[in-house]
Chains A and B, each alone.
Chain A
Amino acid sequence: MTHQVVRQTLPLLAEEDGRDLYYLPDLPEEDPYAAGHRTCAGCGPAIQYRWVLKAAGQDTVVAGPTGCMYVANSTYLCTPYTVPWAHTPIASGGSFTSGVAAGYEAMIRKGRYPGPYPNILVMAGDGSAADIGIGSISGALYRDHDALFVCYDNECYANTGIQTSPTTPYAGMTTFTPYGKAIPEGKKLPPKNLARMMAEGHPHCYVATTTVGYPVDLINKTRKGLNHVGAAFLHCYTPCQKGWVYQTSMTVELGRRVVESGLWPVWEYDPGERAYRYFHPPVQRPVTDYLAMQGRFGHMLPEHVARTQAGANRNWELIGMDVPQALRDLEDPARHQRLADEEYSMPVNRGIGA
């Protein structure tokens, strides 16, 4: 009598197995995130949104808490989503989605919806996921609703004009953490480790981190999260040109550099094994290579850079990579200049400006 809830499994893309890092032959064709949205040029969250929806496909229901990916995407009563999408208040990302997930479970069992169980996603910013909505997401993960909770992390409340959030990095300038004589670093507090909290605190859930530097990784983790029967959490690093002050063309490059400088460990938590699998980047850069590309760090003094390097080095140790002596040495403020004067390894630059 009660209908069975049939769930779908999405295939994973082949990881680069010896081939160079481009050429992506298995990309899904669909783009449920259509053009015509009013995000900034080069918006990292928009890139990530597109990849997540591409990975999920058309049989998807999406919840969008208040944030840039609400206001900028759906401005003036428009919508770029070709899949069902609902705005939720900023704190309700986890809870609204819990309702959608519960709704579909009940409707399928009780014969109101033919099934299969759709992909259910919520795309919350860091303000929503790490701050005002953290309780709601934790509740949703704890209750193990079959949905994927994605946090696109642009390390600030960007939509409201760049204010600090709990994931704003140490010394990251925002309008609530400007630098000045009394507070030379601007932001004194180090950020929360949101993804780690979610993994440690809800050990039955699939949790992973990724960045917009690695499209195949992001797409595959999205699919793994959706395939996981139960709650999954994906923390994506998504640069914000407006808040971080960099050339719009560098969004994807930053997505790689943050990992290569040890400031954003990319990992996957397997709830079956209760184990973390860490990605080891092929290059280990000094943090200056990353920080110097962004105007929001331009005020950093040598001691601030050194402290950031120390944090990065602890991350290298955490993920099981050796810390090269050169990077250990850079924990000493005497090795640094003001960030604005530091030399750094620049990427090939095809954009405009410095």
Chain B
Amino acid sequence: MTSVPVDAGPPRLQRAIRTPEGETFLRGLTGTRVRQNGCAAAAYAALYANVDVITAYPIRPYTAIMMNLAQFVADGILDAEYLHADGEHSQFSAAFGAGSCGARAYTGSSGVGVTYGYEMYSIISGARIPIQMAIADRTLDPPGDFGSEHTDALCTRDMGWLMGWAATPQEVFDKSLLAYAIGEDPRVLLPQMVVQDGYFVSHIAGEVEMPAAAQVDEFLPPYQLPFPLDPRRPVSHGPQIHPEQGPPLQLERARAMEDAIPVIREKTDEFARVFGRRYPHFVESYRLEDADIALVISGGHAVTCRAAVNRMRAQGIKIGMARLLWVRPFPGDDLRGALAGVRAVGVVETNLGLGGASYGGILSLDVTTALYHLDGPRPLVTSFMAGLGGETVPMAEFDWMAGKLGQAVERGRVEKAAHWVGFED
């Protein structure tokens, strides 16, 4: 028996069925508002998405996601293979394996767990297998520190995954479903990192509105990898290539990342239509219409930042906030649109990019590059190292940042590339 003829189309995979317990549980949730933290919200989203394979390995603070899912599986609410891997590298490899044969795979990690499996990121995105990784971010060693920093996820930014932070448990829930829909779309086929601030989002409760299973089914079609490892339709994944074949494949990966941009817009609008919650496509523009100064920020500290902006506006300071909902693909167009007319921009960096041109963090590298291509007068750009190690960023520190930005506007130049908030006068 030889292989199926080449003209046969890809094998069709049916929508996964739910268990009776699962259906009952989801029916009970429909239309309710549940008070839960970001970890639980992620687990609930995975439940709604009826994931097939979950690969778990414990590391704080994301572990709670997997503990929630373990209970769902044990109770028969979710029918999934729950695989407790022997390390993060194995964890991601197993998810990759499951995704490669057509199973919807879900995994996650934090901190050095994220970096332990680093080898796998380029492989999985290059192979175009759209698994989802839930990251509750955490400072990287050394030494051990449970607190939140964005470096763990950000240092993988070049590896070709879709990546973005959710600032609240509701957004964690919504973004997880959205990420699957975008990543699994046949025009995209990229894995996704749905990131939330460790502790601040992962372990502080917020209200999450639960949809109907049917809404999720409408929004999220069955995972249909066009070239799964399926005996009905054999293919080989990942043969060794000749160097000359490298550039076209790399070009294709770049194209996939760029093709993701219109799909993100489309799916975000669709999400609004199905669930009634509308998110900006890429950038939350908060009070930027007439702002002189602006803070660019990502993640849970944006909640405090919003409050700080409101207070400063009340004092007459023309300040606004641009929150990045997606870091990869980096939304250059949207950010430029949001910051047009702003005279000084401060990037809030809850991360560490040692030795870089920003002399501080990672985000400003992308922000500065994006602003360099502005058609028109470019704002001054500096960055603020804040919230490192899992520290809070209190309103006073945002005030301080605004002060620096104001000074920069007056002087016509920034004092320096990166300010270490709390360690300077």
**Please, which residues of chain B bring their CB within 8 A of the CB of A81?**
234, 236
Complex CA distance for A263 and B119, rounded to whole angstroms: 36
* Nearest Cβ on chain B to A122's Cβ, whole angstroms: 9
Query: How does the 8 Å CB contact mask read for B69-88 relative to A, with 1 for contact and 0 for none?
Result: 00000000001110111110
Considering the complex, give the chain B residue whose CB is closest to the CB of A81. B236
Per a CB cutoff under 8 Å, which of B3, B53, B231 touches A118? Answer: B231
Verify B83–A102 contact, CB threshold 8 A. Answer: yes
Considering the complex, give the chain A residue whose CB is closest to the CB of B86. A139
Verify A99–B239 contact, CB threshold 8 A. Answer: no
Asked if A113 is an interface residue, CB under 8 A from chain B, the answer is: yes
Knowing A61-B229, A86-B238, A99-B96, say if A104 contacts B101 (CB, 8 Å). yes
Per a CB cutoff under 8 Å, which of B20, B85, B228 touches A98? Answer: B85
Verify A86–B81 contact, CB threshold 8 A. Answer: no
Verify A99–B55 contact, CB threshold 8 A. Answer: yes
Asked if A338 is an interface residue, CB under 8 A from chain B, the answer is: no
Asked if B237 is an interface residue, CB under 8 A from chain A, the answer is: yes
Knowing A99-B53, A99-B93, say if A113 contacts B120 (CB, 8 Å). no
Asked if A19 is an interface residue, CB under 8 A from chain B, the answer is: no
Asked if B340 is an interface residue, CB under 8 A from chain A, the answer is: no
Query: How does the 8 Å CB contact mask read for A73-102 relative to B, with 1 for contact and 0 for none?
Result: 011111101111111110110111111101
Verify B85–A74 contact, CB threshold 8 A. Answer: no
Complex CA distance for A262 and B344, rounded to whole angstroms: 77
Complex CA distance for A58 and B91, rounded to whole angstroms: 28
Verify B53–A86 contact, CB threshold 8 A. Answer: no
Verify A111–B93 contact, CB threshold 8 A. Answer: no
Considering the complex, give the chain B residue whose CB is closest to the CB of A85. B236
**Please, which residues of chain A bring their CB within 8 A of the CB of B234?**
81-85
Considering the complex, give the chain B residue whose CB is closest to the CB of A58. B1
Complex CA distance for A234 and B192, rounded to whole angstroms: 36
**Please, which residues of chain A bring their CB within 8 A of the CB of B8?**
none
Considering the complex, give the chain B residue whose CB is closest to the CB of A116. B231
Verify A102–B81 contact, CB threshold 8 A. Answer: yes
Per a CB cutoff under 8 Å, which of B2, B17, B238 touches A2? Answer: B17
Verify A107–B89 contact, CB threshold 8 A. Answer: no
Asked if A298 is an interface residue, CB under 8 A from chain B, the answer is: no
* Nearest Cβ on chain B to A148's Cβ, whole angstroms: 15
Per a CB cutoff under 8 Å, which of B3, B19, B102, B238 touches A112? Answer: B102
Asked if B10 is an interface residue, CB under 8 A from chain A, the answer is: no
* Nearest Cβ on chain B to A104's Cβ, whole angstroms: 6
* Nearest Cβ on chain A to B26's Cβ, whole angstroms: 15
Knowing A60-B231, A96-B93, say if A135 contacts B20 (CB, 8 Å). no
Verify B103–A95 contact, CB threshold 8 A. Answer: no
Complex CA distance for A60 and B234, rounded to whole angstroms: 9
Query: How does the 8 Å CB contact mask read for B167-192 relative to A, with 1 for contact and 0 for none?
Result: 00000000000000000000000000
Interface residues on B, range: 35 or more
Interface residues on A, range: 35 or more
Per a CB cutoff under 8 Å, which of B50, B79, B105, B242 touches A103? Answer: B105
Asked if A136 is an interface residue, CB under 8 A from chain B, the answer is: yes
**Please, which residues of chain B bring their CB within 8 A of the CB of A57?**
1
Considering the complex, give the chain A residue whose CB is closest to the CB of B87. A135
Verify B14–A99 contact, CB threshold 8 A. Answer: no
**Please, which residues of chain A bring their CB within 8 A of the CB of B94?**
95-96, 98-99, 102
* Nearest Cβ on chain B to A28's Cβ, whole angstroms: 10
Complex CA distance for A122 and B48, rounded to whole angstroms: 32
Verify B17–A61 contact, CB threshold 8 A. Answer: no
**Please, which residues of chain A bring their CB within 8 A of the CB of B97?**
63, 86, 88, 92, 95-100, 102-103
* Nearest Cβ on chain B to A170's Cβ, whole angstroms: 30
Per a CB cutoff under 8 Å, which of B89, B99, B233 touches A95? Answer: B89
Complex CA distance for A321 and B148, rounded to whole angstroms: 62
Asked if A329 is an interface residue, CB under 8 A from chain B, the answer is: no
* Nearest Cβ on chain B to A137's Cβ, whole angstroms: 9
Verify A77–B239 contact, CB threshold 8 A. Answer: yes
**Please, which residues of chain A bring their CB within 8 A of the CB of B87?**
135-136, 139
* Nearest Cβ on chain B to A150's Cβ, whole angstroms: 16
Verify B91–A77 contact, CB threshold 8 A. Answer: no
**Please, which residues of chain B bring their CB within 8 A of the CB of A86?**
97, 100, 229, 236-238
Complex CA distance for A74 and B235, rounded to whole angstroms: 12
Asked if A110 is an interface residue, CB under 8 A from chain B, the answer is: yes
Within 8 A of B (CB), among A265-308: none
**Please, which residues of chain A bring their CB within 8 A of the CB of B230?**
61, 84, 113
Verify A112–B222 contact, CB threshold 8 A. Answer: yes
**Please, which residues of chain B bring their CB within 8 A of the CB of A61?**
101, 229-231
Knowing A76-B240, A82-B3, A89-B93, say if A106 contacts B222 (CB, 8 Å). no
Asked if B417 is an interface residue, CB under 8 A from chain A, the answer is: no
Per a CB cutoff under 8 Å, which of A59, A63, A89, A98 touches B123? Answer: A89
Asked if A109 is an interface residue, CB under 8 A from chain B, the answer is: yes
Q: What are 22 residue pairs bridging A and B, where the CB atoms are less than 8 Å apart in the complex?
A: A1-B17, A1-B20, A57-B1, A71-B240, A74-B240, A76-B241, A77-B242, A85-B234, A89-B119, A95-B85, A95-B90, A96-B96, A97-B97, A99-B95, A99-B100, A100-B98, A100-B101, A102-B53, A102-B83, A113-B230, A139-B86, A139-B90
Closest 5 CB pairs of A and B: A99-B97, A139-B86, A103-B103, A87-B238, A74-B239
Residues of B within 8 A of A (CB): 1-3, 13-17, 19-20, 50, 52-53, 55, 79-81, 83-87, 89-91, 93-103, 105, 119-120, 123, 222, 228-231, 233-242, 245
